[in-house]
């Protein structure tokens, strides 16, 4: 979002609204029975208390815990309990229906489909978390795992083709210390063990032209269909010629 908004009259609050689609959506929701500038200042209050205004983080919180955050003076709204629950419901809906991509509410009708979003809600794990992967091209992705307020792990995947049989993969992993504060060393150990378990798979992947899928491979089937747009078809070759 490149447009600069001036709804609050406070530079930081307006900057948050201009660059964070979910913060803007929260401001729209809060714009009821209070002055507009007060409503749109609400997201900045949440950012100051939570560290970030993120739908995954809010959806993962206990609703009443989030209401307490909203009611902390100065409250984000004249009716912090009811509006806090509505904001929590909004975050949950954004995660469920738009895979955490708030801007998708405005752009979901775009037929281009160049960005793929995958979402996994792991509430039943020992340490509940939500995963949101945004894939921009084959192998180039941002994966965000949220364990709680400020407790995030972000991983970037970046591929570099070497030849028709080899691709160099690079990973950048960013882990917030809040994960350790929230769940101790177990989560960090699980992250390290998970990467270690996955490495032999990455190192020994082979292409199967017609693989056999089972019912639980729905995500893989979706990905294979989506990735076709990045390959030149025989019709494309004719048009290029």
Sequence spans of domains, the chain: 11-98, 111-230
pLDDT of 142-192, one tens digit each? 888 887 777 778 888 888 888 877 778 788 888 777 777 766 677 777 777
Residues 145 and 131: beta-carbon distance below 8 Å: yes
User: Looking at the domain that runs over 111-230, which CATH code has it been given?
Assistant: 3.90.380.10
Prediction pTM value:
0.54
What is the arithmetic mean of pLDDT over 128-141?
A: 81
- The helix/strand/coil state of 220 is helix
Helix axes 80-98, 21-30, angle to 10 degrees: 140
Looking at per-residue confidence, does 50 or 204 come out higher?
A: 50
Angle at 76 between CA 72 and CA 77, to 5 degrees: 115
Cα-based distances in Å from 37 to 84, 140, 148, 203: 18, 39, 29, 54
How many C-beta atoms surround the C-beta of residue 38 within 10 A? Answer: 16
């Amino acid at each position: 979002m490149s447009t600069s908004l001036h709804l609050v009259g406070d530079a930081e609050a307006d900057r948050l609204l201009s660059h964070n689609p979910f913060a803007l959506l929260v401001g729209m929701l809060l714009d009821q029975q209070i002055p507009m500038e007060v409503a749109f200042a609400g997201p900045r209050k949440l950012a100051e208390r939570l560290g970030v205004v993120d739908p995954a983080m809010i959806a993962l919180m206990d609703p009443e815990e989030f209401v307490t955050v909203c009611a902390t003076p100065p409250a984000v709204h004249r009716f912090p309990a009811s509006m806090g629950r509505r904001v929590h419901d909004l975050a949950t809906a954004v995660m469920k229906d738009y895979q955490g991509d708030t801007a998708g509410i405005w752009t979901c009708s775009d037929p281009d489909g160049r960005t793929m979003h995958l979402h996994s809600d792991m509430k039943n794990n020992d340490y509940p978390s939500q995963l949101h992967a945004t894939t921009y091209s084959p192998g180039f992705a941002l994966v965000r795992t949220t364990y709680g307020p400020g407790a995030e792990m972000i991983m970037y995947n970046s591929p570099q083709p070497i030849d028709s049989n080899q691709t160099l993969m690079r990973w950048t992993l960013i882990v917030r210390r809040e994960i350790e504060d929230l769940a101790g060393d177990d989560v960090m150990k699980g992250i390290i063990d998970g990467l270690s378990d996955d490495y032999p798979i990455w190192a020994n992947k082979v292409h199967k032209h017609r693989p056999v899928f089972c019912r639980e491979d729905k995500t893989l089937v979706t990905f294979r269909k989506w990735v076709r747009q990045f390959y030149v078809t025989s019709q494309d070759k004719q048009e290029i010629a």
